[in-house]
Structure 1
Amino acid sequence: MTDEQLAKEIANGIISTGVEGGFNSVSRSSAGDYPSMGVSQWEGIGGRGDLLLSYIDGGAKFAGRKYSDIRYNGELEELKALLNTPQGQEAQRILLSQDCLDRYVPQLKRVPTLDDSRCFIYAGIWCPTSEYVVRQFLTNRCNRYNLRSLETIKDVFKNEYYIGAGVGEVYKEGYANRAENTYYYVAAIDLTTPYGVPVYGEAGNGR
């Protein structure tokens, strides 16, 4: 698969599994008083959040504003509805695919032995947590685990990612659930018809 194809499928996976949120998700960022929005939790006043809003008609109303301001004025539902319009959804798809192509794919291509398409997509769906952490996490384990096996890579994330990410036991169960759900999604997607990738389980070696 090409970089563009991998980026597209990673974006589809992030959206389909809802691991970062839905198209109409809006919450207060843990990093500051500004909204965190959509399927990739775009955030930051003057940053990625405002860039997303610039692609949507009516988005300028919410650009550069604090989350508390939007909430205090009773406009959260209006912002959610705007993000969930066809134009809002398409803007999120475009920006997420570009993020995957510009950021996630290049980082993952630096991981030795991460060359199986399904395993690459699986790892890519974790990249919104931090593409740098995912890359280092897998690089540190490539000599101990078979990163060409989807089931193996699922178990690695399930059992060890909370340690590698340095988030502690509080995230252990959540990451374990995310690992399982992501596995079932990636194992089931059709990569054969569009890309000629063998059906999962028919390529040997856990692939």
Structure 2
Amino acid sequence: MDLRHLLAHEVAAGIIATGIEGAYDAVSCSTAGNYPSMGVSQWEGGRGDNLLSWIDGGRKFIGRTYSDIVNSGELDELRAVLDSEQGRAAQIEILAADCIDYVDALMPYISDSKCVIYAGMWCPTSTNVVRFFVRNRRNWGYDVNNLSALADVFAEEYYVAAAVGNAYRQGYANRARATYNYLAEHDIDWGMLDV
């Protein structure tokens, strides 16, 4: 397995282990509109429909609004579909492919493997926002190759870059600390993964 795939594997494992995006059976209403945001990576819209197309029983939820699913009493059914053995396998496979994209987006700006993984674990929120955030902070003199410093800047400034306002400030700060704690305690031979 090459470095990109090793890093992508670690990003996916971290997203699932921490539950920072949600559990396999997570379903909520998207903040961007009245449609479901689902699973361990909060897939929504066309990406959510793609996930559902991989799972037996998922097709009946494709293209439906969140309100329609709730009002029809089918929310628990959707959660069960996502949490099924097939639903979990589909989420892992799709997330692994997504994480390759995350790693590719970050490696031009970060050389430390743990920091690539850290920033990669934020990419489900928006790969472009995370990439520009890391690039800009690096260009502004922040040490994006120091895990503690990277976690601090995500905790203090990511909510501004994501343009979500003060309402999400504490949530993003909590996520920054949880992600840092996971990686700080994660036991891997990082010397083998240095970029």
TM norm structure 2? 0.91
What does residue 86 of structure 2 align with? 87
What does residue 71 of structure 1 align with? 70
Give, in angstroms, the shift of residue 197 of structure 1.
4.7
* 1:135 maps to which of 118, 131, 134: 131
- Report the CA distance shift for 1:163/1:63 in structure 2 as closer, same or farther (over 3 A): closer
Larger RCO of the pair (alpha carbons < 8 Å, separation 6+): 2
Number of equivalences:
192
Q: Please list every run of 5 or more consecutive structure 1 residues that lacks an aligned counterpart in the other structure.
A: 199-207
- Report the CA distance shift for 1:41/1:54 in structure 2 as closer, same or farther (over 3 A): same
Give, in angstroms, the shift of residue 62 of structure 1.
1.6
Give, in angstroms, the shift of residue 42 of structure 1.
1.1
Give, in angstroms, the shift of residue 165 of structure 1.
2.2
1:11-45: per-residue Cα shift (whole Å, max 9, x none)? 1111111111111011122222221111111111x
User: Which deviates more, 65-74 or 150-159?
Assistant: 65-74
- Which has the larger share of helix? 2
Q: Distance in 2 between matches of 1:141 and 1:66?
A: 37
Q: Distance in 1 between matches of 2:35 and 2:164?
A: 23
Q: Distance in 2 between matches of 1:110 and 1:166?
A: 24
SS in 1 for 2:37: strand
* 1:169 maps to which of 160, 166, 185: 166
User: Which deviates more, 33-42 or 88-97?
Assistant: 33-42
Which amino acid is 1:142 matched to?
R
What does residue 107 of structure 1 align with? 105
1:135-178: per-residue Cα shift (whole Å, max 9, x none)? 11111121412222111111111112122222222222111111
Q: Distance in 2 between matches of 1:98 and 1:52?
A: 12
**1:60 matched to 2:59:** yes
* 2:156 maps to which of 152, 155, 159: 159
**1:181 matched to 2:194:** no
TM norm structure 1? 0.86
Q: Distance in 2 between matches of 1:74 and 1:189?
A: 40
Which amino acid is 1:125 matched to?
M
Give the greater-gyration-radius structure (CA). Answer: 1
- Report the CA distance shift for 1:130/1:142 in structure 2 as closer, same or farther (over 3 A): same
* 8 A Cα contact 1:37 1:43, kept in partner: yes
**1:147 matched to 2:148:** no
SS in 2 for 1:32: coil
User: Which deviates more, 163-172 or 71-80?
Assistant: 163-172
What does residue 120 of structure 1 align with? 116
1:36-70: per-residue Cα shift (whole Å, max 9, x none)? 111111111xx111111111111122222222222
Give, in angstroms, the shift of residue 79 of structure 1.
0.7
SS in 1 for 2:22: coil
State the identity as a percent. Answer: 55
